[in-house]
């Protein structure tokens, strides 16, 4: 493994089955990053570029916290790294700072905010909730997971959120049901009022949260995680349709107005990127946005 000591792993915790948290020594990223932004990690000389949303950062220690699920071959390889070993590259901070962090203080103070964190998406929610508390703003948080063993960062979230509500699909912990059941319970049954919902999790979850919150008339911010390659707006891999505009998650996002996101298109693109034929089809259709040879669409 690489000799580069700048990106050394200083902490590794298994949060749940196949979900890992790591602190990485990356002083330059730690000095400049904010909630909502992401990094691109390359483990070794042969490693793929892996985009991960920042879960936490410690400016004094010079560390950045990442959370990932070891599902594909690249992330499984990451999970084999241990404390003291180092990654080859750790580029960031990339993308835009979270909308709430950029909002003027007086405006944010007048808003009731609910975070909806789904599964591994709890990791990118955490720095936003922490930032809110540290800057004098309150927020509630729903953590949704398939079952008890997949609930992550609950204790950490409780330190910063005013109220944390846990829901599991199988009812093994907290409320039984998906995150929409929890949103309905809070807003319709308990009559809680929220002005802004921030939903981060699987695309299918964000899609259905947005359908519900549109009906309820509540502004909703989502963090999109399409395929990313270069992370600089050049390759077109992370292209999304937002309202009637084309946007690139890596430079324009990853946060967007959830009520404007074309989720069906985004999910279709995600599945097309998994096959060589699908990649070629995207390249033929979107030629001019794929103007950079670094993109995986260019197989030749
Ligand atoms: P999961 O499948 O365990 O689901 C998490 C929560 O979403 C659960 O509470 C579940 O009930 C809810 N959910 C799922 N489908 C829903 C629907 N149709 N309506 C309402 N709620 C629904 O999540 P997981 O296995 O941790 O998710 C992994 C996925 O999350 C990966 O695809 C990964 O790419 C994505 N992810 C996204 C981000 C992001 O920034 N948006 C960050 C990390 C991971
Ligand atoms: Fe966004 Fe390439 S990853 S344009």
The domain spanning residue 166 has which CATH number?
3.40.50.80
Does the C-beta of 231 come closer than 6 Å to ligand 2? yes
Closest ligand 2 atom, CA of 231? Answer: 3
Whether 2 is in a domain gets the answer no
Does the C-beta of 119 come closer than 6 Å to ligand 1? yes
Q: How many domains does the chain have?
A: 3
The DSSP call for residue 233 is S
Based on the domain organization, do 200 and 127 belong to the same domain? yes
Residue 21 CA to residue 12 CA, distance in Å, equals 6
Has residue 80 got a pLDDT over 50?
yes
CA distances from 278 to 142, 227, 296, 299 (A): 36, 13, 12, 12
**0.85 exceeded by the pTM?**
yes
Does the C-beta of 202 come closer than 6 Å to ligand 1? yes
Query: How many secondary structure helices (H) and strands (E) does the chain include?
Result: 11, 16
278: pLDDT confidence band, cut at 50, 70 and 90?
low
Is residue 132 within 8 A of residue 196, CB to CB? The reply is no
Closest ligand 1 atom, CA of 120? Answer: 26
Average pLDDT over residues 265-287: 74
Based on the domain organization, do 58 and 80 belong to the same domain? yes
| Whole-angstrom Cα Rg for the chain | 19
Place of tokens 């580069």: 4
Q: Is the dihedral of CA 66, 250, 138, 141 positive or negative?
A: negative
Residue 117 CA to residue 210 CA, distance in Å, equals 13
Single residue among 202, 223, 244 that ends a domain in this structure: 223
245-248 vs 239-242, strand pairing mode: antiparallel
Domain that holds residue 27: 9-94
Whether 158 is in a domain gets the answer yes
Is residue 35 within 8 A of residue 101, CB to CB? The reply is yes
290: pLDDT confidence band, cut at 50, 70 and 90?
very low
The DSSP call for residue 96 is P
Single residue among 48, 67, 94 that ends a domain in this structure: 94
Is residue 42 within 8 A of residue 87, CB to CB? The reply is yes
Based on the domain organization, do 14 and 56 belong to the same domain? yes
Distance from Cα 247 to the centre of ligand 2, integer Å: 10
Instruction: Give the pLDDT confidence of 165-215 residue by residue, as tens digits.
Output: 999 999 999 999 999 999 999 999 999 999 999 999 999 999 999 999 999
Distance from Cα 228 to the centre of ligand 2, integer Å: 5
């Amino acid at each position: 493994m690489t000799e580069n000591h700048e990106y050394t792993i200083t902490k590794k915790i298994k949060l749940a089955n196949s979900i890992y948290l790591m602190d990485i020594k990356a002083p330059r990223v730690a000095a400049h990053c904010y909630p909502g932004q992401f990094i691109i990690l390359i483990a070794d000389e042969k490693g793929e570029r892996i985009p991960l949303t920042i879960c936490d950062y410690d400016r004094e220690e010079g560390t950045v916290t990442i959370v990932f699920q070891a599902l594909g071959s690249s992330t499984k390889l990451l999970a084999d790294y241990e404390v003291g070993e180092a990654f080859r590259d750790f580029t960031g901070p990339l993308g835009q700072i979270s909308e709430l962090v950029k909002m003027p203080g007086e405006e944010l103070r007048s808003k009731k905010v609910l975070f909806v964190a789904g599964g591994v998406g709890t990791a990118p929610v955490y720095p936003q909730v922490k930032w809110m508390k540290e800057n004098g703003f309150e927020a509630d948080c729903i953590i949704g997971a398939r079952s008890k063993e997949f609930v992550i960062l609950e204790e950490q979230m409780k330190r910063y959120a005013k109220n944390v509500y846990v829901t599991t699909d199988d009812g093994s912990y907290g409320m039984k049901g998906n995150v929409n059941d929890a949103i309905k319970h809070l807003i319709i049954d308990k009559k809680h009022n929220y002005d802004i919902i921030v939903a981060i999790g699987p695309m299918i979850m964000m899609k259905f949260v947005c359908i519900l919150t549109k009906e309820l008339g509540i502004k909703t911010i989502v963090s999109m995680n399409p395929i990313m390659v270069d992370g600089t707006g050049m390759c077109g891999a992370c292209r999304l349709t937002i309202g009637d505009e084309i946007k690139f998650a890596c430079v324009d996002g990853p946060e967007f107005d959830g009520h404007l996101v074309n989720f069906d298109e985004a999910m279709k693109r995600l599945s097309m990127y998994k096959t060589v034929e699908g990649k070629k089809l995207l390249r033929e259709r979107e030629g001019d946005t794929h103007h950079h040879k670094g993109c995986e669409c260019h197989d030749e």
